[in-house]
């Protein structure tokens, strides 16, 4: 009985506690990311943004949460009820479950699996189902059009994201996210004889892929300028037209969880994860999680700024960018990277 | 036994139950959604056997891409459900025959491995130790060395199929205006703008 406890029960309790802690921190973080998004957007437009609830509007997201939860969910008469309610659940559960494999600092990861990056890629390719199911189950024109747009968009940009990930994996030689960060200890900078620094991270060596990944991440998470599934000037609110109260909130939560994940993934793949920018004792002394958060927030700031000042793409332009520019570019980079690694003997 | 067995029965039960729902659901969109659940549980079963790479590829390829297209097509088509279900009994004998053949094949394969366990030793490739080599790396080891030609041929077949699909559906209309981005970018004020001095009362 003792062994049963030490093999199954205790690790189970630890795992559940870790997951709960991560989820709570993540949800609070997302609340402030949402606020930051609105504040940055407001600042670009010379507005104040939310500033009434709490000091500087810091509790705005929680006020919104209460408002959504206490409203009555309205289900359209013609809707497919089960799928209609399942869709937001799918969206938010998938977006949150990807966080299980993200290493926040050295060893700070719930599931350190061998195929971590594939897991993230697989789960984020499933996120399209929340949107398609919601759009279809609403049984109305605009949601359906929004869902179709979104399905085509997300499938297209996954292709180039896949190739970008392959390029990074070629340089690392492992699918484990912790290994990917550790591989950025040495890179271009150390090969030139410099001490370990931010020049070693993949963003410099694979700069075109960094740009492609950033833009594809915008498209994959339906962020402006690629927010065509919910383009308000054409489709009212796209796949979310018929949603209100808590189901709508779940869609929003899933969307922001996916955005935060893409920021974290950019940090891990290209910005050296929890590694300090320069390898000196003072910066090494700062905990890795702080660097990870700082870098993720920097990426999110770029996400928010893009939202604030880039006009929305037209749908055919979006498809052209994905298939005719990013796909050949990333495919060529895979081949070039493989050749360079092989010829230079670094692989 | 233990946790593995519990998870095996969980995944297997949900997979079989939702496979049944795929063929019995009234609405084709529900059928596809149940099919996705089957794939998902199959990926879970792969994970239990330690085939983590196959599990993830199943998720990416089948659920992330193939099933999306499936759902796309089923949602777009205007299907008359009553008409669709009218011919079910007509196809029942063929369906049963296919099921019987698959069952017989399974019996042959599983029975063979049970009766002659020494047949498994005929594998010429050395099986790497799972502790020292991840199965992603092990798959890569054989796929790009011993089986590189088969791998390339499989890729070629897919390429031909893709080109075939494009050729069959490509319809290039000539009488419409198309956007040529490089042409637009190449335009300069010198070629695009003509400055006209208009005198009052005369027009251009």
pLDDT mean over A134-147: 84
- Note whether residue B200 is domain-resident: no
State the CB neighbour count (10 A cutoff) for residue B185.
8
Q: Which helix (H) or strand (E) holds A94?
A: helix A81-97
Q: Exposed (0-12), middle (13-18) or buried (19+): which is A190, by Cβ within 10 Å?
A: middle
Does residue B186 sit within a domain?
no
Tell me: do B73 and B94 sit in the same domain.
no
Residue A301 CB partners (closer than 8 Å, separation 6+)? A36, A40
Q: Is residue B62 one of the residues assigned to a domain?
A: yes
> What confidence score (pLDDT) does residue A282 get?
75
B60:A123 CB<8 A: no
Does residue B140 sit in the same domain as residue B164? yes
Same domain, B143 and B115: no
CB A231 within 8 Å of CB A314: no
Are residue B77 and residue B148 in the same domain, yes or no? Answer: no
pLDDT of residue B122: 65
Instruction: Supply the DSSP symbol for A221.
Output: T
Name B49's Cβ contacts closer than 8 Å, sequence gap at least 6. Answer: none
Asked if residue B37 is part of any domain, the answer here is: yes
The predicted pLDDT at position B32 comes to 86
Domain holding B141, by residue range, is: 132-170
Task: Say what the pLDDT of residue B50 is.
Answer: 80
Interface contact A115-B53, CB threshold 8 A? yes
pTM of the full predicted structure? 0.83
- CATH number for B32: 1.20.120.1200
For residue B202, the model assigns a pLDDT of: 80
B16 and B62, same structural domain? Answer: yes
Backbone angles phi, psi at A197, to 5 degrees: -155, -170
pLDDT band for position B125 (cuts 50, 70, 90): low
Region A227-238: mean pLDDT is: 75
Whether residue B154 is found in the same domain as residue B81: no
Across A207-221, B1-15, B79-93, the highest mean pLDDT is recorded for A207-221
A292 in B contact zone (CB under 8 Å): no
Distance CA B9, CA B15 (A): 10
Query: Facing residues of A197 across strands?
Result: A278
Mean pLDDT of A256-276: 89
Closest Cβ opposite residue B63 in set A113, A126, A316: A126
Residues 6+ apart with CB under 8 A from A310: A224, A225
Structure confidence at residue B204 (pLDDT): 67
Does B81 map to a domain? yes
Residues B37 and B97 in one domain: no
Residues A38-89 pLDDT 10s: 899 899 989 988 888 888 888 888 898 899 989 888 888 888 888 888 899 9
- Shared-domain flag, residues B45 and B109: no
The answer to whether A299 touches A271, Cβ cutoff 8 Å, is: yes
* pLDDT at residue B41 in the model: 92
Cα–Cα dist B12/B44, whole Å: 9
pLDDT of residue A128: 85
Asked if A305 reaches chain B (Cβ–Cβ under 8 Å), the answer is no
Average pLDDT of the segment spanning A206-229? 86
Residue B110 has pLDDT above 80, yes or no: yes
**C-beta atoms of A8 and B53 within 8 A:** no
- pLDDT at residue A1 greater than cutoff 60: no
What number of other Cβ atoms are within 10 A of residue B177's Cβ? 5
For residue B140, the chain A residue with the least C-alpha distance is A173
* A72 in reach of chain B (CB within 8 A): no
pLDDT one-digit tens code per residue, A240-256: 888 888 889 998 899 89
Final residue belonging to a domain, choices B66, B86, B106:
B86
CB A70 within 8 A of CB A138: no
Q: Provide the β-strand partners of residue A278.
A: A197
Q: What is the pLDDT of residues A286-316, one digit of tens each?
A: 788 888 889 999 999 999 999 888 888 888 8
Q: How confident is the model at residue B126 (pLDDT cuts 50, 70, 90)?
A: low
ipTM above 0.90, yes or no: no
Is the predicted pLDDT of residue B160 greater than 60, yes or no? yes
Query: Could you tell me which residue, B45 or B76, shows the higher pLDDT?
Result: B45
Q: Which residues of A touch B76 (CB under 8 A)?
A: 148
Work out how many domains chain B is built from and give that number: 3
State pLDDT tens for residues B66-107.
888 888 888 777 666 666 667 677 888 888 999 999 999 999
A270 vs A111: which has the higher pLDDT? A270
> Of the candidates A123, A152, A81, A188, which has an alpha carbon nearest to the alpha carbon of residue A318?
A152
């Amino acid at each position: 009985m003792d062994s049963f406890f030490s093999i199954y029960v205790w690790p189970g309790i630890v795992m559940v506690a870790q997951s709960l802690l991560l989820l709570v921190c993540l949800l609070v973080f997302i609340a402030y990311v949402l606020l930051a998004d609105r504040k940055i957007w407001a600042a670009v437009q010379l507005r104040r943004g939310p500033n009434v609830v709490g000091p500087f509007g810091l509790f705005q997201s929680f006020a919104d949460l209460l408002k959504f939860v206490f409203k009555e969910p309205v289900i359209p008469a013609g809707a497919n009820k089960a799928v209609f309610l399942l869709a937001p659940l799918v969206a938010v559960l998938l977006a949150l479950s990807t966080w299980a494999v993200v290493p926040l600092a050295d060893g700070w990861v719930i599931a350190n699996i061998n195929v971590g990056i594939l897991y993230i890629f697989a789960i984020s390719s499933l996120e399209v189902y929340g949107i398609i199911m919601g759009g279809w189950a609403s049984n109305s024109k605009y949601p359906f059009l929004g869902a179709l747009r979104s399905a085509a968009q997300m499938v297209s940009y996954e292709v180039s994201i896949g190739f970008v990930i392959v390029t990074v994996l070629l340089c690392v030689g492992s699918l484990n996210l912790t290994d990917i960060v550790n591989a950025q200890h040495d890179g271009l900078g150390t090969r030139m004889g410099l001490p370990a620094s931010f020049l070693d991270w993949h963003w410099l060596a694979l700069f075109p892929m960094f740009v492609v990944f950033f833009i594809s991440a915008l498209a994959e998470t339906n962020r402006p300028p690629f927010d065509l599934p919910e383009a308000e000037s054409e489709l009212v609110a796209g796949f979310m037209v018929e949603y209100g109260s808590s189901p709508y909130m779940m869609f929003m939560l899933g969307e922001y969880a996916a955005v935060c994940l893409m920021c974290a993934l950019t940090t891990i793949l290209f910005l050296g994860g929890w590694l300090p920018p320069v390898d000196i004792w003072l910066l090494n002394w700062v905990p890795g999680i702080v660097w990870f958060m700082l870098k993720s927030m920097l990426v999110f700031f770029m996400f928010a700024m893009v939202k604030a000042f880039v006009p929305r793409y037209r749908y055919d332009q979006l498809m052209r960018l994905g298939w005719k520019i990013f796909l050949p570019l990333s495919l060529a980079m895979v081949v070039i990277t493989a050749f360079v690694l092989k010829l230079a003997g670094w692989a | 036994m233990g946790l593995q067995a519990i998870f095996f029965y969980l995944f297997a039960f949900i997979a079989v139950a939702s496979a049944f729902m795929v063929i019995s659901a009234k609405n084709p969109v529900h059928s596809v959604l149940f099919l996705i659940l089957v794939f998902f549980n199959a990926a879970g079963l792969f994970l239990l056997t330690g085939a983590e790479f196959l599990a993830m590829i199943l998720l990416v390829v089948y659920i992330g891409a193939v099933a999306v297209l499936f759902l796309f097509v089923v949602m777009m088509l205007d299907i008359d459900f009553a008409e669709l279900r009218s011919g079910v009994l007509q196809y029942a004998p063929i369906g049963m025959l296919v099921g019987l053949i698959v069952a017989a094949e399974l019996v042959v394969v599983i029975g063979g491995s049970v009766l002659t366990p020494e047949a498994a030793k005929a594998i010429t490739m050395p099986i790497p130790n799972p502790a020292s080599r991840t199965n992603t790396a092990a798959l890569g080891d054989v796929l790009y060395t011993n089986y590189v030609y088969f791998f390339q041929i499989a890729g070629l077949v897919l390429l031909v199929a893709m080109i075939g699909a494009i050729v069959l559906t490509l319809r290039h209309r000539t009488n419409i205006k198309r956007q040529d981005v490089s042409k637009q970018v190449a335009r300069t004020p010198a070629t695009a703008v003509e400055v006209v001095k208009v005198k009052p009362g005369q027009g251009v």
